[in-house]
Structure 1
Amino acid sequence: MDEHLPFSAPKRLRALVRSRESSIIVLAAVVGAAGGLVVAGMGALAELMHSVLFGIPFRQRLSALPEILPWQALIPAVGGVVLGLSFLLLAKWRPEPPVDPIEANALRGGRMSIRDSAVVAAQTVWSSGVGASVGLEAGYTQLSSGLASWLGRVFHVRRNDLRLLVGCGTAGAIAGAFGAPLGGAFYAFELVIGAYAPIGLAPVGIAALNGWFVARALGPHTLELFALSAHTITGRDLVTASLLGVAAAFFGITLMRGVELWERLMRRLHLPMPVRLGIGGSIVGGLALVTPQVLASGHGALHVNSVLTLPIGLVAIILVCKSVASIVSLGSGFRGGLFFASLLLGALGGRLFAEAGNALWPGAGLESDVYAVLGLGALSASVIGGPLTMTFIVLETTGDFWLAAAVLIAVIVATVITRELFGYSFATWRFHLRGETIRSAADVGWIRDLTVGRMMRPDLKTVPRDTSLERFRELYPLGSATRVVVLDRDETYAGMVIVTDAHGVTDPEIRGIGPILRLPKTVLKPSMNIREAALQFDRAEAEALAVTDAQNHPVGLLTEAYVLRRYADESERRRREMLGEG
């Protein structure tokens, strides 16, 4: 969804931005700093809600509580009902779903609504603030990229530059949230821009650095994963990391499928949104009575001392409860992401993997802290689909190169298996459930914009179906036309005649054009995009097809050769834009 901008930058300034690459870098620096502000502000608001609602000191992590009071288990349910009521009110004002940065870059050339982004961010803060098991990262990236899209449209930047700025917004947000500039930059390249190009290195890098610097300067909101000492990574660990990657892939697919199944169950019950969210919040509250680590994103539980020193039975309980809480929260409709939750779940799963390995193979000597990090990286990569993102986040937060190398193996295995067996990340899976076909943020919006109606030739040559063969030859001698569309009596499409076929008939029994009609039921529609048109040509094995309207009246003609040429030309133009060649 887009909105009309009430103002634009002065024309001379817009021209300067469009003509100089350095101007885009300056905008990217502003966008990155805004991402850091978003992280700091949203993090502080969520912590303030935790302090007020749960009675904990400000800055203390909610999921680090040893226990909660029975009445506090009602907070997620009540918060869910309030959130559901807000959804009903907003549906009257903005009935269309908000556009997230991946969808914006894939389909809309980076165009996002700043109002929708602010609403999503507020809903994410509320969801986390009342204890729902969701991550704030979805709100961070939504609002940061929405601000970036707004700024780019104020300066009327080109489509590819706008997509780049949206990526810069997410880079600043993720870098600020994790304290990992490289991780933030590669999050933008892998997940939001959809490809790495040298022209994007400077803007994305500057945005990530600024986001990290601003978030760090404004307070301790950033996620500090681990404070590990260096460990010796052996060849055995590199091999075992691949096995952990396999387990993480199946676990990640199970989580994503679980969210879908719970959401489908809620829809089949035809419950109003306040009731759905109230049920989801009640389940989360009940699980929090068992272990408060299920609440919010799980940052407080994600520390080495808590993850690695807990009894193995309690680790398993937290893993199961947090998994169920995340599935129920997201499937019920709470706003947020699965990324942050996957960090805790991966660390717990890695700890269980190491303990199981040592039990089955007493001489293995698998270190729990090492495999907690490996599991964290592998599961998160399976869920978000960013192998280099997770590798660099681990490298920057641990400072251990060899540990990062082992994580790289685990995340590669996890992402390859997830892609082969499932085909989506969590974000693109949600698009699939809505009927979208995108699998990444690669720019395919131009494919939808390039429709048959825009490419067809409207100057049709037509004849009635009852035209005799002799009359047809008089009207269209050889060389006058290649093909002619045939019409029924009601002016609807009946088929197509190739002129050379008509002049090549030697059977004296054939006196009309009916026997030589081709493609009587195969047509194109003006709304079809270029890819759908190419598939239709391939199925029909035809060189040209008629274009008909909703009443089956011919309105144009399109050839396969022209479709393929336009597709090649547009693909090359997009490639050159991405590489900064023109």
Structure 2
Amino acid sequence: MKTLSNIPLLRLGHAWGKLIKKKAFARGSELGLIFSAMLIGLAAGAAVSGMSWISRSLHSLIFGIGRLDWLSASIIDNKLIVLTAPIIGGMLLGVVLFILSRRRRRAIVDPIEANALYGGRISLTDSFIVAGQNLISNGFGASVGLEAGYTQLSAGLASKLGSKLNLRREDMRILVGCGAAGAIAAAFNAPLTGAFYAFELIIGTYSMVALAPVVISAIIATFVARALSGDSFLIEVGEIGTITPADYVPAILLGAICAGVGIVIMQGVAFIEELARKSSIPPYVRPALGGIVVGLLGMVTPQVLSAGHGALHLNLDSDAPVKILIGIFLLKSLASAVSIGSGFRGGLFFASLFMGSLIGKIFGMPADMITTGSLTPTVLAVVGMSALAVAIIGGPLTMTFLALEITADFPITALVLAAVITSSLVVRTTFGYSFATWRFHLRGESIRSAHDVGWIRNLTVEKLMRSDVKCARLGVSLEEFRETFPLGAAKRVILLDTSDRYAGVVSLPELYAEEADTARPRTRLEDFLTHHNDFLLPQMNAKQAVEIFDQSRAEALPVINNLIDRRVIGQLSEAHTLRRYSEELDRRRREAVGEA
């Protein structure tokens, strides 16, 4: 029963609740980030479980296997289904691509690109499109994993939440990292792997501000995925054995080998994509043609189909001859390259783990010649899967923690760390890209990681320039010019030709100093022109502007609208550009460490 005494308490409690909510989700609040990360972890775990369930249901429906069976480990008697399923999937994906080409002109942004260039902003609609394409590709047997769809959808949900909360740029980037961390953690039942995947590949750096939200999201997503999907995401390995100091030599050598193989695989995918682009085949027809190749390879062995979860476990537990392992590796490599290159949507995360495990087991025979033979095939398989995944995907600590979480063995983790460092070093020094950043490079983007460089692109000349510029026309006499622009009126005047096109810059101090110089008299205004071909464009960023200032040795330059019209629209000084550039650098540094 309500009384007069408890009504004020109710009102006070409601007011405190509103205040706490407002404080928790305020811009820059760590508490708000943690609450948001919890929600993202729930969403990521549910998204991964949902996509996995749809994929396995498609495998069961299309290929006639058991609901709990893995496609790549199944025995499929009907070879016609194996041949035609990827072709039908390619045709269905082609229809989707055809519709998208008519209705959507902009490219789809993935989490790495979003955090590098767009401050963590991802279209949720695009994320659902990518997830749908990934499910079609994987569900019909194309040799791609679902990790691309997992991370895209989870990151898209995180970005949408951040947009609704009107979070600042750095917080948006952290939330996108939380989404990716939750997706990978749920996909491998490995929260540490998911967290460091976010730090190394999505956020691009480690900071104390991001630590709690990312780890919490990864842990919650793992719990949710296990509650919904049970142990279906577990990777089980066999007997590890004893690790000795001498085992580090073959592990390091295996890391270098995996680096070389990873580079070949990435270039193979790029070669097939380039071959497809140069052909006259429309993009929406290419997946069906790629499906023919995948179907033919699948008729040889189903282990090349889908991501390869079942095939990974199958080969970890078997003692197949080296010739068989080499054959499976070559077929899987070709199937994955053709699938990605022909337009199927997906990633190479799990495929690289599977192929790396095959390389490790193949390496077992020469490894026995290097050491006393103490390394078991399982150890080499774990080292190989981590080293090849680092070469293709990147993230040395990510793959090291994955080895730790699937083996729960510290000695093998140290062995894996030596191998992945070697693999990463070889790839960075000889190739310079991971699979994702290599594809950005092929598109013309100079992105080497998810480190935030988008703010530099946003700090354009158009935003920095002054529009009030002093201009005069060529042809006027020195006397008329001096009357119009007395000493002290400006530092410099921009000259235009008869068509109002930029012609050069005149320094007023230099012009008036000429009166005292009788040894070299200059009688025409044109004699004082400098920087005839030095100018800035409005779309240039601050970094590009600084480089042009340095090359031209100019203190200030005009800004023209384009290279054809050459209409002067403003002026920008080197000092102002450097000051604003330094201010933004300091601002990003403070945001990264939580001082903003």
Q: Judge same fold: TM > 0.5, yes or no.
A: yes
**1:487 and 2:496 equivalent?**
yes
- Counterpart of 1:580 in structure 2: which amino acid? G
Residue 311 of structure 2: SS of its match in structure 1? coil
Instruction: Please report how far the alpha carbon of residue 98 of structure 1 lies from its aligned counterpart in structure 2 after TM superposition.
Output: 1.5
Write the distance in 2 (CA, Å) between the matches of 1:256 and 1:307: 28
Find the counterpart in structure 2 of residue 17 from structure 1. Answer: 25
Which shows bigger deviation, 225-234 or 412-421?
225-234
Identity %: 48
Given residue 228 of structure 2, which amino acid in structure 1 is its aligned partner?
L
The one-letter amino acid paired with 1:131 is G
Partner of 1:169 in structure 2? 179
Does the CA contact (< 8 Å) of 1:308 and 1:368 recur in 2? Answer: no
Contact 2:242 2:374 survives alignment (8 Å): no
| Residue identity opposite 2:319 in structure 1 | T
3-state DSSP class of the match of 2:25? helix
**Pairwise CA distance, 1:254:** 0.9
1:181 has 2:195 as partner: no
State the AA in 2 paired with 1:396: E
Whether the aligned pair in 1 keeps the contact of 2:243 and 2:374 (CA below 8 Å) is no
Name the residue aligned to 2:4.
none
Instruction: Letter of the 1:567 partner, please give it.
Output: Y
Q: Specify the alignment match of 2:8 in structure 1.
A: none
Q: What amino acid does structure 2 have at the position aligned with 1:557?
A: Q
What is the one-letter code of the residue matched to 2:557?
A: L
For 2:304 and 2:317, the matched residues in 1 are separated by 13
TM-fit CA distance, 1:92: 1.9
Which of 537, 560, 564 matches 2:549?
Answer: 537
Q: Which position in structure 1 is the counterpart of 2:6?
A: none
Where does residue 400 of structure 2 map in the other structure? 391
1:453 and 1:274, CA in 2 relative to 1: closer, same or farther beyond 3 A?
closer
1:243-270 per-residue CA deviation (whole Å, 9 max, x = no partner) reads 1111111111111111111011112112
Deviation for aligned residue 1:175: 0.4
- Measured in 2, the distance between the counterparts of 1:90 and 1:164 equals 30
For 1:532 and 1:196, the matched residues in 2 are separated by 28
The Cα offsets for residues 387-446 of structure 1, whole Å up to 9 and x where unpaired, read as: 110000110110011111111111111112212222221112222222222111111111
Task: Please tell me the root mean square deviation across aligned C-alpha atoms, in Å.
Answer: 1.9
Match of residue 558 from structure 2: 546
By how many angstroms is 1:224 displaced? 2.3
Cα distance in structure 2, aligned partners of 1:508 and 1:161: 61
How far did 1:90 drift?
2.0
Query: Is the aligned partner of 1:154 residue 2:168?
Result: no
Contact 1:177 1:221 survives alignment (8 Å): no
SS in 2 for 1:555: strand
Instruction: For 1:307 and 1:333, locate their aligned partners in 2 and report how far apart those are by CA, in whole Å.
Output: 33
Show the counterpart of 1:576.
590
Q: 1:140 to 1:362 in 2, by over 3 A?
A: closer
Aligned residue among 195, 198, 205 for 1:195: 205
Q: How does 1:202-351 map to 2 (within 5 A)?
A: 202-220=212-230, 222-303=232-313, 306=316, 308-351=318-361
Deviation digits for residues 294-329 of structure 1, max 9, x if unmatched?
Answer: 000000011265465111111000000000000000
Question: Are 2:237 and 2:378, in contact at CA under 8 Å, matched by a contact in 1?
Answer: no
After the TM superposition, list the runs of 4 or more consecutive aligned residues in structure 1 that deviate by more than 4 angstroms. Answer: 10-16, 304-308, 360-365
The CA deviation at 1:557 is 1.0
1:85 touches 1:273 (CA, 8 Å); kept in 2? Answer: no
Partners in 2 of 1:422 and 1:307 — Cα distance?
Answer: 34
Query: d(CA) in 1 for partners of 2:252 and 2:383?
Result: 10
Check the 8 A contact 2:241/2:376 in 1, yes or no.
no
* Aligned 8 A contact 1:149 1:162 in 2: yes
- Of 550, 559, 562, the match for 2:576: 562
Q: Distance in 2 between matches of 1:274 and 1:568?
A: 46
Does 2:106 correspond to 1:69?
A: no
**Higher alpha-carbon deviation: 14-23 or 544-553:** 14-23
Partner SS for 2:310: coil
- Aligned residue for 2:242, secondary structure, equals coil
The answer on whether the counterparts of 1:346 and 1:376 sit within 8 Å (CA) in structure 2 is yes
SS at match of 1:556: strand
Contact (CA 8 Å) 2:87, 2:288: kept in 1 or not? yes
Deviation at 1:468, TM superposition (A): 3.1
Q: Does 1:502 align with 2:516?
A: no
Offset at residue 13 of structure 1 (A): 4.9
SS at 1:557 equivalent: strand
Following superposition, the deviation at residue 499 of structure 1 comes to 2.0
Gaps of 5+ in 2: 1-17
Counterpart in the other structure of 2:35 = 26
**Counterpart among 57, 75, 100 of residue 48 in structure 1:** 57
* Residue 521, structure 1, aligned to residue 533, structure 2: yes
Aligned to 2:14: none
Separation in structure 1 between the aligned mates of residue 465 and residue 440 of structure 2, nearest angstrom: 30
Q: Per-residue deviation at 1:223?
A: 3.0
Listed as ranges, the gaps of 5+ residues in structure 1 are 1-9
Task: Give the one of 330, 348, 356 matched to 2:366.
Answer: 356
Q: What do the CA deviations read for 1:43-101 (whole angstroms, capped 9, x no partner)?
A: 11100000011110002100002455220221101110111111101222222221111
CA distance in 2, matches of 1:563, 1:454: 10
| Whole-angstrom CA distance in 2 between matches of 1:296 and 1:509 | 80
Other-structure match for 1:422: 431
- Which residue number corresponds to residue 128 of structure 1? 138
User: C-alpha distance in 2, partners of 1:567/1:350?
Assistant: 48
Q: Deviations over 1:99-129 (max 9, x none)?
A: 1111111111111111111111011111101
Bigger Rg over Cα? 2
1:83 to 86, 89, 93: 93
The answer for the alignment partner of 2:418 in structure 1 is: 409
Offset of residue 356 of structure 1: 2.7
- The whole-number CA distance in structure 1 between the counterparts of 2:19 and 2:488 is 53
One-letter amino acid matched to 2:363: F
TM-score, normalised relative to structure 2: 0.92
Deviations, residues 473-513 of structure 1 (Å, cap 9, x unaligned): 44444444222211112221111122222123324542012
8 Å contact 2:241–2:375 — kept in the other structure?
A: no
Question: Is 1:452 the equivalent of 2:458?
Answer: no
TM-score (norm 1): 0.95
Q: How far apart, CA to CA, are the structure 2 residues paired with 1:363 and 1:409?
A: 19
Q: Contact conserved, 2:237 with 2:316, CA < 8 A, in 1?
A: no
Task: Quote the Cα distance in structure 1 between the aligned partners of 2:57 and 2:466.
Answer: 62
How far off its partner does 1:353 sit? 1.6
Tell me how far 1:454 sits from its aligned partner.
Answer: 0.7
Structure 2 counterpart of 1:494, which letter? A
Count of aligned positions? 572
Tell me the secondary structure at the aligned position of residue 169 of structure 1. helix
Q: What is the distance in 1 between the residues matched to 2:20 and 2:405?
A: 41
CA distance, structure 2, for counterparts of residue 362 and residue 412 of structure 1: 21
Tell me the equivalent position of 1:511: 523
Instruction: Measure, in 2, the Cα distance between the counterparts of 1:466 and 1:95.
Output: 48
SS in 2 for 1:486: strand
Q: What does residue 3 of structure 1 align with?
A: none
SS at match of 2:47: helix
Structure 1 CA distance, aligned partners of 2:217 and 2:58?
29
- Residues in 2 aligned to 1:342 and 1:148: alpha-carbon distance in whole angstroms: 27
